[in-house]
Structures are given as structure tokens and as C-alpha cells.
Structure 1
């Protein structure tokens, strides 16, 4: 949960990062700025033929290729290859799109975060272990040789895996799936009635916890990450995402210097944007089929960088696909935008979420429409809607800084010791809504403010993570505040050890332990 002026900090971080990288367009605090790239664009990577076929090509290395509408002018289509806009065309001039990734482990995606793209599309991964995601139109997808993950999304798609152990998901529509040689998994939008979904509660047994290692403008978070990882690795595996082999080596050296054992830390290499993996990471669902067989699957809900205010998010949006491929589990794309930080499950029949957040992310959907989707995908029968957000909260009101389940029927809600604080009313209103839903409410004090880097920050302790045998919670350098919070948490979780770890740099930038961790049941 982002408090007071954290919106400004993340926005300025974004501005500095994008300016340094000479990005074509940036988004800062609601204003649009156009920047011309300083380097020569690779015009030969994309060409439009006389008959309206737009050909986009990658390299023989590992490419990231996106086709998207321009979020400033949606009538324009953009081709982005490896982080650079290489071409743009008016959508009206494009009759078909053909993308070829070439050799290498490529990620190719029709990105519809700025608007639907229904133009007929052919996407080729060629040799390599590729991830390819189609759009809402009629797509033809070729994985080529290698272990590929191919998703058609909506539309009448034709998907071909070729050699290798491939995962093919047609999505809604009349699809043709051909895995080719190898051990393949073919999925084509199973009937809702055949599978029962359940999102496990956070206190259930974890297989591991995922985190995205801070990089670039977020390097200052690394000491806080080291403390969290040190606490977690005692009782469960930590899957730490890094962007390259050299980044892995650097992270290993940093953690070793901070006294963090690495025997229970697994490094996973994939592209990503930011380090707040709670929000962009996988949502894990336990699926039970008609025969009572249970298996875990990844749901991939849309991620747009906290409503567009958090900056470039295409890599983050694709992370759940990589996670599902690494873990070898089923995968489902859900075309609704939300962050996991605004979902709190009791593992049985209830989810607490925020109407303020979901309405901002999905302005075209009514509350009843969202309820239908949430109940169907999560297998819950009750949705508790919170409303409002704290001053300066970039997320618009994530639940994990307000209220947390501690068991199936009990929710702990933050409470300001000073009820005259401007944000106190938000927490009292949230507690009242939760009580009215028939749940027990206990309170966790926000005892006051701490000083950090010249600013006052509310000492909120609700952004904890429940892990195997432990609860990892924030400390703020005030022994009285921290010890009191630890004692309260220990009463709420008597069977677990409460470990307090310094998260002041994270909280200064808008989050804490829960915001940067993503637990895998």
C-alpha cells in the first residue's frame, strides 16, 4: 500500500528511467510527454507491403517483440523489438500482421493493454523455447522447434507446436491445436462446470515464494530484499527472478555479502520491469476436476502498471506465463486487469477486494460483471468490497495494507492510534464493511510515524507475509513500535515465529514485505 508522496517518488523514478533509455513515449502523473529517440531506429525490422501486410522480424538471439496500439493515439499500431519502437503504422492501413522471431528464446505478444487488435495475425517463434501470445483476432501461431508456450487468446486460432514439449492454449473460439512431436499439453478453454477453482489461503503450505530482484532505479531496495530473503529461506524455497546470468552473479554476491545463505534460493532468469511481484506475478489456483483430481494452475490477469501510473509494464505483464512454463503447470489468461495486492482470500469461500481499484482498472465493467468473473475464476461465493484509498496511494487502495485474513473467519484491520489522522477514517470504514459481511475483526495498531530520509511515514504493520512456519513483517527502526507490533502479530499467529525485518526503503517507495513477495502454494 503506497502512502503519502510515494506516488511522486515512483513517478519521478519512472521519468528518470525512461528518459535515460530514450523511450519514445512516457507517462508521468497523468501527463503525456513525447520524446524522440536519440538513436537511429531499426526501420528494416518492420515493413508494410503494398497489400497491407506488416512484416516484423526479430534477430537470431532472444527477442522480445510486442505489437500494440499507441496509448496516446490508438489509431496507430506500434512494433516494439527488444525495448525499441522500430515502426508504427496506422491500423487502417494494416490488413494482416506477420511476426517472425527468428532463432532464440523469443517472447512475442499482441499487447492489447491500449486497445483491441483484431487484425489477422501470423506469429512465428522459429527455433528456440518461445512464449507467444495472440490477440482477440484470428491468429495463426507457429512455435517452431523447442519447448514452446503458445496461447491464442480469443478468436478462431490455429496453433502449431512442432518438435518439442509444448503447451498450447487456444482460448475462447473455434481453434485448431496441433502439438507436433513431443510431450505436449493442449488446452482449449475448458467448460466452467468441469473444473472447480479455489485460491489457497496464504497460511496454507507454500511450495515457494517468488520475488523479482531490484534493478536499475530500484537498486536501493536490495538491502531490504536481503532481509526478507534471509527470513524466508529458513523455511521455504525462494525463487528469485533476475534478468540475466550476469545479474544472477551480481545478486548472489550481494546476498552472500549480507550473510544470506543461498542453498534455498533458486534463481530464475526472465525479463521483467519492476520489483513488486505481488501485483504482476501469478495468481495460483487449485483446480479440482470432475473426478476429484487436484492440480495447481496459474491464472494470468492483466497488469497495466497500477492503472498506467507505474510506467512500462509489458515485461511484468508476461511474467506469469514464464512462471507457469518453469513450473510445468496449467495456464489461463484472464482478460480483466487487477493486481494480487488487492485480493485477500480466506481459502474457502470469500475474497476481500477493492471496488476503487478494480473500477479504475476496468472502467467498462460494472460491479456485477466483475463479481461474475471473480466468483467464476476464484471459486468464491462472497465478495467483500472495500472502497477508498489513503492519501498519495499510487495503487488506489490495495487491500494488503488495510486488511488481512488471519483465519477463515477473522480479519485483522489496521487502526490509527491517532483517530484524528486524515487516513484514520478509511480504516474504520473498512473494518465496518468487513464486520457487516459477517466476519470477525481484530485490529493492528498504526502507533504513529517514523522519520526516514527526511519524511514522516506511518508505521503500518499489515503488509506482512505468512510463510511456512514464520510470519515476516516490517520493522521501522522504532523499538517501541516494532516490539508492540511483533507481540500483536504473535498473538494472531501463535504457531509461527514472527520475524521483523527492516523495510523502510521499500515503504518509502510505496510497499513492504507483502508487496514484493508472491507465494506459490
Structure 2
């Protein structure tokens, strides 16, 4: 019988964190994004309870810059990659230590960069793990686990024809059961507006305990994801999970005036800290307080992540935990 992946709040040996390495992908935001990542690294390390931070840079030159920023807070690992989102390109580590590797197609053929297709294999082998490969597309940010065999995902992503057009919902559920030991799947409909990933669930809904799901509370009807949050809550209640609500940052715009997929849900749960992305919004403090209540044994740390968001994600998207054996 396949052991399901452990939940993120289970103990970690270490965590891989991607370091922005290609300025051409970031416009003028690469340096500021690197500084925000360094703040994330320090927060995890300072309260790590033995959780090692492995900061992954794409080449030796960027690796030297990373070492200068983080000092002794992390071990810098140089492995070639294209984009920084290791949640999606890294391996999913199962409860038995198996490094599961799925096909990766650049988020539906939209962002294909050399190195992303096999960086997960190389990181796994560095840990002495032989990757187990699966011949269909699944990104780590597209699914979240509670450790009991229950997972949550979105139809927008996993049923998207740009991922696995030949697979039905039943096919995907069967593969999740047979390959990852997941026996129950909560299907939400859509992810956040303008999410480059086609609705990754880690920007929308996160398990925070067995059978307990955190979801944003809309910041009024002006919230661009008001309908998304309400539909997700309705489906979750019908499925039978317990809901806990976290404030939404509401309407967040970039310099051009476009709505961006800002979310407090893209937090990372470490051994001792929960690190939450902030955006200079009125609900920032309330979100940190709400997440602190959910995780009383952790320290909730809010860190600005505006520049990381210009690349399309935040702290959860750039990290992938390595569960303790």
C-alpha cells in the first residue's frame, strides 16, 4: 500500500528554496526579489528546529550572490534551472521517502525554460534518492495534502487540456490513489484571477490540520476573487471538511493597473515558523494573526513579497520541504 505524502506541518529535515537567478525573467525586480527570498530564508533558519535551508541557485555566479546575502543561514546549492518555482519542478516526497517525479510542461507550455524539466531529478539524487517517475503532468502547487490520504486541487488546473488532455477526472483520481496513496480528492473549481499557473490550489486553499482547510474570506464585493472564494467554501462544506477563514488581501494591482494573484495562502509551514507573504495591504496584520491562531506551536512571520509576486508566486511556490525520515 502506498503511503500518502506527509502534510507540510510534519517535521522536516530540510527545505529547498529557489533563488531568483535569471534577471531577464524578472525585469527590474530580480534584485528586490532576491532580498525578499533572503528574508524568507532567515525566518525559516532562525526558528528552524533543525530544519536545514538549501538555497538553490541556477549557476555559480548567482550562487556567490546568494551566499553573500544569506551567509550562514543557508547552504547554497547550485543546480541549473530555468524558473525559480521549485514547488512545481522539484520532487514530491512521499511518506516512505520516495521522490515522486511527474512530467513538467512549463505550466501548460506557457513558460518553458531549460533545466526545469529535470531539476527535480537532480535535487533528489543529491539527497541520495532515486526518483520514481510518473508519465503525466502534475505540479506540486496544484495539490495539497492533509497526511491522511485526503488532498485538495482545482479543476481549472488538473483538468486543464494544456496539462493532460487525454486523462479524465476518474483517470487522475486513479493515478493519485495508485501513485501517491491519495484516497479522497476535494475538487475546487477555479483558482485566483490572473494566476499564471491556471489555478494552483496553494494560492487558494491549504490544509492546516487533518480534515481542516483554510480558505480566504473575501475583502468585500470589490475583491476580484469574491466569487472564487465563495464557490470554494461551498464545495468544501459540501465535501465535509472543516473550514477556517483567513482574510484576503483584496484587490492588489501591479504598476500597469492589472490585478495580480496576491494571496496570504501562499505561506510556508516550517518546523517552527509559518512564513506568510505580505503586500502592504490593510489586512496584512489580520492575516498573520489568523494564521498564528491556527498554528499556536509555530511563530507566524509576515514578510513582504511584492517583488516575488511579479514573477507569479510567493514563498510556498519557491520552496519544497524534505520530510524527516
Q: TM-score, normalised by structure 2?
A: 0.90
Q: Distance in 2 between matches of 1:377 and 1:198?
A: 9
SS at match of 1:419: coil
Deviations 1:387-429 (A, max 9, x none): 1233322111100111111100210111212135442111111
Residue 460 of structure 1 deviates from its aligned partner by 2.4
Does 2:158 align with 1:347? Answer: no
Deviations 1:233-291 (A, max 9, x none): 221211111233333222212x1xxxx4x33411222211011111111100122xxxx
Aligned to 2:123: 323
Does 2:4 align with 1:198? Answer: yes
Q: Distance in 1 between matches of 2:224 and 2:302?
A: 27
Unmatched runs of 5 consecutive residues or more in structure 1: 1-194, 288-295
Q: Distance in 2 between matches of 1:370 and 1:400?
A: 19
CA contact (8 A) 1:211 1:277 kept: yes
Q: Distance in 2 between matches of 1:379 and 1:353?
A: 15
Aligned to 2:285: 483
Does 2:34 align with 1:229? Answer: no
> 1:299–1:421: structure 2 CA closer, same or farther, 3 Å change rule?
same
SS at match of 2:116: helix
Does 2:66 align with 1:251? Answer: yes
Aligned to 1:78: none
Residue 457 of structure 1 deviates from its aligned partner by 4.8
Aligned to 1:359: 159
Aligned to 1:462: 265
- The more displaced of 468-477 and 217-226 is 217-226
Residue 458 of structure 1 deviates from its aligned partner by 6.4
SS at match of 2:108: coil
1:263 to 72, 76, 94: 72
Does 2:211 align with 1:396? Answer: no
Q: Distance in 2 between matches of 1:281 and 1:353?
A: 18
Does 2:171 align with 1:369? Answer: yes
Aligned to 2:277: 474
CA contact (8 A) 1:238 1:266 kept: yes
Residue 377 of structure 1 deviates from its aligned partner by 1.2
Does 2:231 align with 1:429? Answer: yes
Unmatched runs of 5 consecutive residues or more in structure 2: none
Q: Distance in 1 between matches of 2:34 and 2:201?
A: 25
The structure with more helix, counted as a fraction of residues: 2
Deviations 1:28-87 (A, max 9, x none): xxxxxxxxxxxxxxxxxxxxxxxxxxxxxxxxxxxxxxxxxxxxxxxxxxxxxxxxxxxx
> 1:327–1:459: structure 2 CA closer, same or farther, 3 Å change rule?
closer
SS at match of 1:197: coil
Aligned length: 311
Deviations 1:173-192 (A, max 9, x none): xxxxxxxxxxxxxxxxxxxx
CA contact (8 A) 2:194 2:261 kept: no
Deviations 1:93-127 (A, max 9, x none): xxxxxxxxxxxxxxxxxxxxxxxxxxxxxxxxxxx
Q: Distance in 1 between matches of 2:261 and 2:119?
A: 31
Aligned to 1:284: 93
CA contact (8 A) 1:466 1:472 kept: yes
> 1:390–1:264: structure 2 CA closer, same or farther, 3 Å change rule?
closer
SS at match of 1:225: helix
SS at match of 1:515: coil
Superposition CA RMSD, Å? 1.8
Q: Distance in 1 between matches of 2:280 and 2:192?
A: 23
> 1:306–1:282: structure 2 CA closer, same or farther, 3 Å change rule?
same
> 1:359–1:457: structure 2 CA closer, same or farther, 3 Å change rule?
closer
Q: Distance in 2 between matches of 1:251 and 1:263?
A: 11
Residue 196 of structure 1 deviates from its aligned partner by 2.4
CA contact (8 A) 2:9 2:270 kept: yes
Considering Cα pairs closer than 8 Å and 6+ residues apart, tell me whether 1 or 2 has the greater RCO: 2
CA contact (8 A) 2:224 2:251 kept: no
Deviations 1:345-387 (A, max 9, x none): 0011201112221222101111111111011111121011111
CA contact (8 A) 2:92 2:99 kept: yes
Larger radius of gyration: 1
Q: Distance in 2 between matches of 1:270 and 1:301?
A: 19
